[in-house]
Amino acid sequence: MPIVLARIDQRLVHGVTVNQWNAELNPKRYMIVDNLISQDETVKASMRMSKPSGTGMSIIDEQKAITNFNNGNYDHQVVFLLVKEPKILLNLIAGGVKIPSVNVGVIFKEDGRTPITERVALNDEELADLKALQAEGIPVHFQYTPGEPAVSLNDAIKGKM
């Protein structure tokens, strides 16, 4: 299984993902799956500059990710998958992509979202999507850095939603 971890983080690539998570996971490839960003060459170029030395970075849309994984393009790599929202992970799974676990790092408190942790707020659709991932047998946890304790989805939402 090439994906070592799928992380939901609205900031995608930033200091925590390229330093702390890189040291923890040792990925060979960072993969950002986002239908809009994959079309913006300026944003893609700036993201590529932030990747750790010795790693690759793919910034692709959902369909290309599904096609590439199903074609075995990443079979011999360790992939750290980054997305902005849980719906993308559900779409990848529906397309046949295997995801071993989901880490929720940062979802901003905006657009009527309810705070769940210090760095994560969810709306009803995002919560339903995370529950659907969990129902697929995929562990879902909230953890900003690898040094912090992971909090399960059930524990995080207890009494909040």
How far is residue 42's CA from residue 31's CA, in Å, rounded to a whole number?
A: 17
- The pLDDT value recorded for residue 161 is 64
- The pLDDT value recorded for residue 111 is 86
Sequence spans of domains, the chain: 3-157
> According to DSSP H, which parts of the chain are helical?
15, 21-25, 41-49, 62-70, 86-94, 124-135, 153-157
Q: How many CB atoms lie within 10 A of CB 16?
A: 17
CATH architecture of 3-157: 3-Layer(aba) Sandwich (3.40)
- Please state the pTM of the whole predicted model: 0.94
161 residues of the chain, pLDDT tens digit each: 699 999 999 999 999 999 999 999 999 999 999 999 999 999 999 999 999 989 999 999 999 999 999 999 999 999 999 999 999 999 999 999 999 999 999 999 998 899 999 999 999 999 999 999 999 999 999 999 999 999 999 999 987 76
| 95: DSSP letter | T
- The pLDDT value recorded for residue 159 is 74
